[in-house]
């Protein structure tokens, strides 16, 4: 957990404080966390020159996205290695068609698995984009 060494004191109306507390409770956060998020908004958004909605991704979700992206990269790397190996064996006459087909089936299984996971994440990303009226 990050230690916060600086302090900001500010005055707000009762209504603003109640609103901040309600928002914090609904998001399972503290009022300080809500203020920290607001401080991290892009300058253009705060100034009103950018009308696009802002999507905040917390650290846990960012780590999950990074892990999933690495997994995709690993799977596609394995697919490329398998295809290159099959091509090399065929060029050198080190395998016959049956062996090549067997290895192609292994590659196809990996591609199908990766594509299934990608489809789930793509649908979720499209759902989130639709919430913000973002065009494809």
CA dihedral 41→42→45→49, nearest 10 degrees, is: 170
Evaluate whether residue 53 is within a structural domain. Answer: no
| C-alpha dist (Å) from residue 48 to 11, 102, 132 | 23, 59, 17
Write the pLDDT tens digit of every residue in 62-107. Answer: 888 888 888 888 888 888 888 888 888 888 888 887 888 888 888 8
Write the pLDDT tens digit of every residue in 20-57. Answer: 999 999 988 899 988 888 888 777 777 777 666 667 67
Q: Are residues 92 and 33 in the same domain?
A: no
Counting the structural domains of the chain, the total is: 2
Evaluate whether residue 54 is within a structural domain. Answer: no
Q: Are residues 71 and 121 in the same domain?
A: yes
Domain residue limits at 29 = 14-40
Q: Are residues 83 and 28 in the same domain?
A: no
Contact (Cβ atoms closer than 8 angstroms) between residue 111 and residue 79: yes
Q: Are residues 69 and 121 in the same domain?
A: yes
- Sign of the dihedral through C-alpha 76, 77, 79, 84: positive
Evaluate whether residue 72 is within a structural domain. Answer: yes
| Global pTM value | 0.46
């Amino acid at each position: 957990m990050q230690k916060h060494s600086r302090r900001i004191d500010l005055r707000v109306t009762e209504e603003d404080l109640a609103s901040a507390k309600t928002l914090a409770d609904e998001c399972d956060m503290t009022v300080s966390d809500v203020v920290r998020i607001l401080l991290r908004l892009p300058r253009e958004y705060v100034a009103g020159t950018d009308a696009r909605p802002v999507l905040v991704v917390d650290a846990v979700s960012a780590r999950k996205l990074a892990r999933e992206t690495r997994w995709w990269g690993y799977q596609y790397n394995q697919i490329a290695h398998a295809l290159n190996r099959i091509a090399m064996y065929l060029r050198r006459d080190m395998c016959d068609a049956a062996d090549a087909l067997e290895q192609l089936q292994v590659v196809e299984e990996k591609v199908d698995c990766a594509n299934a996971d990608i489809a789930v994440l793509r649908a979720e990303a499209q759902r989130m984009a639709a919430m913000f009226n973002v065009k494809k």
